[in-house]
């Protein structure tokens, strides 16, 4: 039935195990999975020289040892077929269904993410662990991935490439061993840690391991004597229990040396006694008996039963003094021990013991662990929420170099750009997500690779504030515009002082600015310029400031023949220090004049605008469009009356298209049987082009009237 000796010899045991704990065991599907795995990997080999099928076999075996359901075990068998063989996702779905296909696909996504990441620090590793959790919406994907890594790390010594061996070991130590701990797989965690640690630092590993072995030999008799005394005391109280002692692993000792900054010889708790009871109540009874018979070290009793660790670990730890030495004791119930060693797998079994129990209750402890991570190791955990709520708090995206960044959910490329550096954000002109150019307001998702397109001439848009997610990014954008507005008003204010100085035949100089400043309450010249540019100092105020400096005065700025100073409106950002009046909508080429508006700066009007009659002439400033050809586009409005004939509107819009003029808005203002009146808003760069456009429209037989119209306030 099977091609390889691995499954020929073990199938009976696998089948018996699955039947014993999985009421939904499907033997036909399990056999088919073995056959697909054997056929798909038949010509592939491991670095050890063994047939590749040994890897899915070992993953399958580990999952069965944890008593995981048939779907999970089958996924363990097939986890590499899509990525490493010609077997397609569609084939997988046709044979095994959507649930198993989804699990295999989840593992493929994690492998894809692994290829993109670079892990150089604890923080980067922490972010990647979060990414794995958020990507693997089904917890079983993480368990299978850990089983996959467990076998790979056990066979890592077959890698000839030493650098690759170290890279994989470092990755395992930083990412997968802590993930195993978070999921409660104590035994897997120890294996992942010790093999990785030994590969990275063989000398340190051997020294610590030798110290543990030697100390354990010296204390072996003391441990046995201690266990004997405890055994008699507990039997006397008719408590059902088991007791044994175990050595601690080298990597946990190494972490303690690093964390507490102590030397190896000063560490005494290289082993621990573990007492397993029948119930939680018995745990506390045992603790009382221990403390009655031995001296407890003050401050070294920890109750993880009433206050479990975030990964669900529950136990009582206490240190006692015996024969002049300190011994660590761990007291836990059978259920607690099963959870400590098997983690989520223990909870998984409960799902089959209680058919009414929902997944969210089975995984509640894991959700607490995720929340623990997100809250930066806060002890106050939020319970009874769906795992999706935890997963959705953050996303994790890659830079093109593989660096991993944490962002709030619904973040955009602009958030990402500013997260890298403020200068990157301020020069952001576009973005590529997974190699495709996307709008800057695109919402990113975990696993995206984001590349920012930079342009030195890019102007930050105030619209970004509407869609960015990070408050710090919003504040950066606001700060940019506050600074820009200030600079624009300062530039305009300085120009206006020069304008007035020339009109009064005074030489504009730094000395003149200083003398004007001395007459105000302002301390700095930039504040003087800003106040003038914003219109906080009226024309009358400015005239008074110039009185002491005045040598001559031109009374009427319109009739003065020698007054050549004008404000170049193209030198300022539209919408900040300069605003174009909507009552007349001036465009480049129109004769213009500006009016100072309090707090807004200059408002530019056409000299033919009827609104000018409402302003005092002292607020007028001669203006022009500059000497360079203006490439900016301005909004303008056209009112056109056309005959109600087929094709009339098409002929009109064709003229816009022919002249490369963009229509921003079009609406019907009035209609009758014979005529339609349209209001058309366009974007155009000068008045001559607009005149030509209007003239061309007048040549159409369907056009009755056409004229330029002002924008009106709604």
| Rg, Å, the chain Cα set | 39
Residue 629 lies in a domain: no
67-76, 93-102, 627-636: range with lowest mean pLDDT: 627-636
Query: Residue 453 belongs to what H/E stretch?
Result: strand 450-454
Q: Are both 499 and 610 inside the same structural domain?
A: yes
pLDDT of residue 686: 80
pLDDT of residue 452: 94
Where on the phi/psi map is residue 486: left (φ > 0), alpha (ψ -120 to 50), or beta? alpha
- Name the band, by pLDDT with cuts 50, 70 and 90, for residue 562: very low
Q: Are both 43 and 158 inside the same structural domain?
A: yes
Instruction: Give the mean pLDDT of the chain.
Output: 81
pLDDT digits (tens, 9 = 90+) for 496-512: 888 888 877 777 778 88
- Compute the average pLDDT of residues 486-491: 88
When mean pLDDT is compared over 255-269, 343-357, 634-648, the highest value belongs to 634-648
555 DSSP 8-state letter: S
Looking at the chain, the number of H-run helices and the number of E-run strands are 28, 20
Taking the C-alpha atoms of residue 695 and residue 546, their distance in angstroms, rounded to an integer, is 48
- Name the band, by pLDDT with cuts 50, 70 and 90, for residue 262: confident
Residue 476 lies in a domain: no
Residue 583 lies in a domain: no
pLDDT digits (tens, 9 = 90+) for 195-221: 999 999 999 899 888 888 888 788 888
265 DSSP 8-state letter: G
Q: Are both 22 and 53 inside the same structural domain?
A: yes
Residue 474 lies in a domain: no
Q: What is the largest CA-CA distance in the chain?
A: 118
Taking the C-alpha atoms of residue 670 and residue 672, their distance in angstroms, rounded to an integer, is 7
- Name the band, by pLDDT with cuts 50, 70 and 90, for residue 587: confident
pLDDT of residue 106: 80
Residue 585 lies in a domain: no
Query: Has residue 113 got a pLDDT over 80?
Result: no
30-34, 249-253, 572-576: range with lowest mean pLDDT: 572-576
φ/ψ of residue 623, rounded to 5: -140, 160
Q: Are both 572 and 491 inside the same structural domain?
A: yes
Segments forming the whole domain that contains residue 669: 634-709
Query: Has residue 86 got a pLDDT over 70?
Result: yes
Share of the chain above pLDDT 90, in %: 28
pLDDT digits (tens, 9 = 90+) for 221-244: 888 999 999 999 999 999 999 998
Taking the C-alpha atoms of residue 185 and residue 168, their distance in angstroms, rounded to an integer, is 20
Q: Are both 193 and 256 inside the same structural domain?
A: no
Domain boundary among 180, 200, 220: 200
Q: Are both 24 and 160 inside the same structural domain?
A: yes
Residue 170 lies in a domain: yes
Residue 431 lies in a domain: yes
Q: Are both 384 and 398 inside the same structural domain?
A: no
DSSP string over 59-118: HHHHHHHTT--HHHHHHHHHTTHHHHSS--HHHHHHHHHHHHHHHHHHHHHHHHHHHH--
Q: Are both 433 and 503 inside the same structural domain?
A: no
Q: Are both 51 and 176 inside the same structural domain?
A: yes
3-state secondary structure of 397: strand
Residue 585 C-beta-side C-alpha neighbours within 13 Å: 20
Domain boundary among 362, 390, 418: 390
Nearest to 320 by CA among 281, 276, 280, 286: 286
Give the domain CATH number at 301.
3.30.460.10
- Compute the average pLDDT of residues 80-93: 90
pLDDT of residue 356: 38
Partners of 670 in the β-ladder: 677
Query: Has residue 39 got a pLDDT over 80?
Result: yes
Domain boundary among 434, 469, 504: 469
Residue 477 lies in a domain: no
Q: Are both 181 and 247 inside the same structural domain?
A: no
pLDDT of residue 121: 58
Q: Are both 257 and 283 inside the same structural domain?
A: yes
In 334-470, which ranges are continuous DSSP H helix? 334-342, 344-353, 359-362, 364-374, 387-391, 413-420, 422-426, 464-467
Give the domain CATH number at 88.
1.10.3210.10
Give the domain CATH number at 702.
3.30.70.260
- Name the band, by pLDDT with cuts 50, 70 and 90, for residue 122: low
Whether 370 contacts 391, CB under 8 Å? yes
437 DSSP 8-state letter: E
Residue 62 has a CB neighbour count (10 Å cut-off) of: 21
pLDDT digits (tens, 9 = 90+) for 397-417: 888 887 778 788 889 999 999
- Cα distances from 158 to residues 151, 177, 651, in angstroms, run 12, 21, 76
pLDDT digits (tens, 9 = 90+) for 171-192: 888 888 888 887 778 889 999 9
Q: Are both 433 and 532 inside the same structural domain?
A: no
Taking the C-alpha atoms of residue 66 and residue 69, their distance in angstroms, rounded to an integer, is 9
Whether 163 contacts 154, CB under 8 Å? no
Q: What is the count of structural domains for the chain?
A: 6
pLDDT of residue 509: 79
């Amino acid at each position: 039935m099977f091609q390889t000796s691995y499954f020929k010899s073990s199938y009976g045991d696998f089948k018996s195990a699955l039947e014993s704990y999985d009421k939904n065991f499907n033997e036909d599907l399990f056999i088919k999975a073995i056959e697909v795995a054997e056929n798909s990997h038949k010509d592939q080999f491991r670095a050890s020289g063994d047939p590749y099928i040994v890897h899915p076999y070992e993953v399958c075996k580990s999952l069965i040892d944890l008593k995981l359901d048939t779907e999970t075990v089958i996924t363990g068998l097939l986890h590499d077929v899509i990525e490493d063989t010609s077997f397609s996702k569609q084939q997988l779905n046709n044979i095994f269904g959507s649930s198993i296909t989804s699990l295999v696909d989840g593992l493929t996504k994690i492998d894809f993410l692994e290829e993109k990441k670079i892990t150089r620090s604890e923080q980067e590793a922490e972010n990647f662990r979060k990414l794995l959790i958020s990507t693997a919406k089904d917890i079983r994907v993480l368990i299978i991935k850990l089983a996959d890594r467990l076998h790979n790390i056990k066979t890592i010594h077959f890698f000839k490439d030493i650098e690759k061996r170290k890279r994989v070991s470092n990755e395992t130590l930083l990412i997968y061993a802590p993930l195993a701990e978070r999921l409660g797989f104590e035994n897997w965690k120890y294996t992942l840690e010790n093999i990785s640690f030994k590969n990275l630092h063989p000398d340190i590993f051997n020294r610590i391991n030798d110290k543990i072995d030697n100390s354990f030999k010296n204390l072996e008799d003391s441990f046995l004597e201690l266990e004997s005394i405890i055994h008699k005391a507990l039997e006397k109280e008719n408590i059902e229990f088991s007791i044994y002692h175990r050595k601690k692993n080298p990597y946990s000792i190494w972490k303690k040396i690093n964390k507490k900054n102590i030397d190896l010889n000063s560490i005494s708790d290289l082993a621990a006694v573990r007492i397993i009871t029948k119930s939680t109540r018995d745990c506390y009874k045992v603790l009382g008996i221990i403390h009655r018979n031995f001296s407890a070290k003050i401050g070294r009793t920890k109750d993880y039963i009433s206050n479990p660790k975030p990964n669900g670990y529950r136990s009582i730890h206490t240190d006692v003094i015996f024969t002049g030495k300190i011994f660590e004791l761990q007291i836990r119930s059978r259920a607690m021990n099963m959870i400590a060693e098997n983690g989520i797998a223990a909870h998984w079994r409960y799902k089959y013991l209680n058919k009414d129990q929902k997944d969210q209750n089975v995984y509640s402890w894991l959700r607490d662990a995720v929340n623990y991570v997100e809250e930066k190791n806060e002890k106050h955990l939020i319970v009874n929420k769906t795992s999706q709520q935890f997963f959705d708090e953050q996303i994790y995206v890659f830079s093109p170099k593989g660096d991993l960044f944490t962002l709030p959910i619904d973040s955009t490329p602009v958030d990402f750009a500013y997260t890298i550096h403020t200068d990157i954000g301020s020069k952001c002109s576009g973005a590529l997500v997974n190699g495709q150019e996307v709008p800057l307001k695109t919402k990113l998702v975990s696993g995206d690779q984001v590349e920012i397109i930079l342009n030195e001439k890019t102007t930050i848009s105030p619209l970004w504030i509407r869609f960015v997610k990070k408050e710090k990014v919003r504040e950066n954008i606001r700060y940019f515009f506050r600074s820009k507005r200030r600079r624009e008003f300062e530039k305009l204010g300085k120009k206006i002082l020069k304008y007035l100085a020339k009109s009064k035949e005074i030489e504009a100089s730094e000395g003149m600015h200083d003398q004007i400043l001395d007459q105000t309450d302002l301390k700095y010249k930039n504040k003087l310029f800003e106040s003038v540019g914003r219109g906080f100092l009226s024309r009358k105020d400015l005239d008074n400031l110039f009185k002491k400096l005045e040598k001559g005065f031109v009374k009427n700025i319109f009739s003065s023949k020698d007054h050549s100073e004008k404000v170049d409106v193209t030198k300022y950002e539209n919408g900040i220090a300069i605003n174009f009046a909507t009552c007349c909508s001036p465009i480049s080429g129109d004769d213009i004049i500006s009016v100072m508006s309090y707090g807004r700066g200059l408002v530019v009007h056409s000299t033919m605008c009827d609104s000018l009659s409402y302003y005092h002439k002292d607020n007028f400033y001669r203006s022009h469009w500059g000497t360079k050809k203006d490439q900016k586009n301005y909004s303008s409005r056209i009112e056109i009356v056309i005959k109600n004939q087929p094709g009339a509107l098409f002929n009109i819009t064709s003229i816009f298209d022919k002249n490369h003029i963009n229509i921003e808005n079009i609406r019907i203002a009035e209609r009758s049987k014979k005529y339609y009146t349209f209001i058309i808003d366009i974007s155009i760069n000068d008045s001559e082009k607009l005149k030509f456009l209007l003239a061309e429209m007048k040549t159409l037989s369907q056009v009755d009237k056409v004229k330029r119209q002002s924008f009106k306030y709604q």
